[in-house]
């Protein structure tokens, strides 16, 4: 078995495995997908899966890490196109919408979904889950500093912007409104404007 904290060796088949695992875990749920299924979809033997990742838990952790990497890349891409402070807040919603649209199917935030299935604190994906929302909140917080939002409003507003972003992912993922990201963007912009005025 692969040692627990030893990094994954990214052979071509390891990439195939991650790709297959990511799609299956996201679309069907983590516990609902067995390692045999993942290996089969990747066109690979189970032994190769264990040679590269060492355990299913580790594969899950890598799945979440890679999805989060994608997301942050989409966010910086969207942020690079906006210089106006309020537009930069809006860009977070646009970037998330673009990231969601890039997935073959959208079933809500992968981290939230994984959180619903991971109970043991010892799971290697646990720290990733805990860190992700904090990171996004800090992102908003920084954008609010840049926008000149007074410190007394900053914490509350960061939470509100984060709630809108998370809520939009849920709303779209459950099919309650296909324009959820645009609506959330408008609301976020309105909230920021109201404390700047």
Partner DNA sequence: GACGCGGTAGACCGACCTGTCTACCTTCGG
Partner DNA sequence: CCGAAGGTAGACAGGTCGGTCTACCGCGTC
What the block records as the tokens of 79 is 């942020």
Residue closer to DNA by CB (options 43, 127) is 43
Compute the distance between CA of residue 4 and CA of residue 7 in angstroms, rounded to an integer: 8
Compute the distance between CA of residue 178 and CA of residue 172 in angstroms, rounded to an integer: 5
- Residue 180 in contact with a copy of itself, rule: CB under 8 A: yes
Tell the smallest beta-carbon distance from residue 120 to DNA (Å).
Answer: 12
Among 18, 21, 24, 56, binds DNA (CB under 7 A): 56
Helices (DSSP H) in 81-179: which residue ranges?
85-102, 110-117, 126-146, 151-173
Could you say which residues in the range 101-130 bind a copy of itself, by CB under 8 A? 107-109, 112-119, 129-130
- Residue 154 in contact with a copy of itself, rule: CB under 8 A: no
- Given the rule CB under 8 A, which of 69-77, 94-102, 131-139, 143-151 is the region that contacts a copy of itself? 131-139
**SS3 category, 7:** coil
- Name residues whose C-beta falls within 8 Å of residue 149's C-beta, 6 or more positions apart in sequence: 157, 192, 195, 196
Binding site for a copy of itself (CB under 8 A): 27-29, 31-32, 107-109, 112-119, 129-130, 133-134, 137, 156, 159-160, 162-168, 170-171, 173-177, 179-180, 183-184, 186-187, 190-191, 194
């Amino acid at each position: 078995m692969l040692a627990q904290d030893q990094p994954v060796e990214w052979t071509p088949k390891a990439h195939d495995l991650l790709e297959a695992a990511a799609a299956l875990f996201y679309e069907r749920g983590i516990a609902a997908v067995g390692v045999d299924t993942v290996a089969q979809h990747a066109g690979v033997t189970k032994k190769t899966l264990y040679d590269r990742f060492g355990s299913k838990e580790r594969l899950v952790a890598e799945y979440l890490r890679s999805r989060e990497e994608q997301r942050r890349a989409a966010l910086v891409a969207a942020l690079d196109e906006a210089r106006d402070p309020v537009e930069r807040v809006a860009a977070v919603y646009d970037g998330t919408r673009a990231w969601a649209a890039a997935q073959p199917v959208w079933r809500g935030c992968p981290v939230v979904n994984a959180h619903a299935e991971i109970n043991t604190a010892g799971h290697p994906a646990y720290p990733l889950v805990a860190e992700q929302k904090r990171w996004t909140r800090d992102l908003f917080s920084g954008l609010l500093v840049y926008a000149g939002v007074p410190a007394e409003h900053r914490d509350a507003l960061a939470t509100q912007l984060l709630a809108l972003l998370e809520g939009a992912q849920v709303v779209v993922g459950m099919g309650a409104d296909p324009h959820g990201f645009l609506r959330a963007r408008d609301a976020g912009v309105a909230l920021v404007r109201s404390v700047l005025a």
